[in-house]
Copies of this chain bind each other. A is one copy, B any other.
Amino acid sequence: MKIVETVQELQNLIKEAKRNESVVGFVPTMGFLHEGHLSLVDQAQKECDLVVMSIFVNPLQFGPNEDFDRYPRNFERDSRLARNAGVNILFYPNVKEMYPTESAMKVIVHEGVSVLCGKSRPGHFDGVATVVLKLFNIVTPDRAYFGMKDAQQVAVIEKMIRDFNLQVSLIGCPTLREEDGLAKSSRNVNLTDVERKEAVSIYNSLQLAKKLIAQGERKTERIQEEMTTFLETNSSGTIDYIELLTYPELNHLEQLEGKVIIAIAQQYSKARLIDNIVLEIE
């Protein structure tokens, strides 16, 4: 595995690979890798000749009061995990390399961001879209791998590929979970022991919603209420949102039907966790 810190060196390596008609797979991350990231590498390896992973904690997608500074970082561990997983090139730029000058422009996302994390984190998806556009332009991947835990991010990137005519295929990969069901996340290390135990109730409330739907419940409000009561009873975190929306359009609906996302964000003392499931309802 090659560790590359500059855009120029990365582009040279990729141009060489492309001359040999290599299919380039790309796994963009913010590091502090867990099995979720590694499962993306796994899938990329099966489908591509060259697997590029980036590790970059992008300041542009963090709000002024968010956790940019305490976002967990451990490059030594990350690079070992990436190497073992089969990453061929690990791109690890610093902020100056990604943003060498004051930017004159950025991508603004104006659709599908008034709900879920877009509502709680204004400007977040502008920052995500801008950095992913830059990374796509640097890496020029044939295929890019994203985890479905960030389902709204997947929807935004899918729309960016469509709106800006990007020549890359997006692959959304399933959420990986701890044994008790908690979605794997770099932010889980910022939970206290008590919170870690409580946090499984996010997963359990999604399962509760699934059960209610299986039993015939279709009223969005009714399911939201049950999930809220469950979460409030079983954890000390503050509910940021519990939403049931069409997917990938992310529109509200009173009666559930078709492809639907059930999504939660909950704030603990030092970590904001998100999770979701996507269901096809008959």
Closest to A165 in B: B137
A residues 93-109 in Cβ contact with B at 8 Å:
101-109
Binds B, one of A29-37, A155-163, A230-238: A155-163
Question: Footprint of B on A, CB under 8 Å?
Answer: 7, 11, 101-112, 129-130, 133-134, 137-138, 140, 156, 159-160, 162-167
Contact of A164 among B108, B134, B165 (CB under 8 A): B134
Contact of A105 among B110, B137, B140 (CB under 8 A): B110
Interfacial chain B residues near A109, Cβ < 8 Å? 104-105
- Give min CB distance, A74 to chain B, whole Å: 27
Interfacial chain B residues near A164, Cβ < 8 Å? 105, 130, 133-134, 137
Main secondary structure of the interface of A (DSSP, over half): mixed
Measured in the bound complex, the distance between the Cα atoms of B126 and A110 in whole Å is: 14
Asked if A137 and B167 sit within 8 Å, CB to CB, the answer is yes
Asked if B167 and A140 sit within 8 Å, CB to CB, the answer is yes
Closest to A163 in B: B103
Interfacial chain B residues near A134, Cβ < 8 Å? 163-165
Asked if A107 and B106 sit within 8 Å, CB to CB, the answer is yes
- 7 A-B contacts, Cβ less than 8 Å apart? A104-B112, A105-B109, A105-B164, A106-B108, A130-B164, A137-B167, A138-B165
Interfacial chain B residues near A165, Cβ < 8 Å? 7, 134, 137-138
Residue from A104, A133, A165 whose CB has the most chain B CB atoms within 10 Å: A104
Known contacts A101-B163, A105-B109; 5 further A-B pairs (Cβ under 8 A): A102-B111, A104-B160, A108-B108, A134-B165, A140-B167
Asked if B137 and A101 sit within 8 Å, CB to CB, the answer is no
Measured in the bound complex, the distance between the Cα atoms of B105 and A137 in whole Å is: 17
- Give min CB distance, A79 to chain B, whole Å: 23
Closest to A138 in B: B165
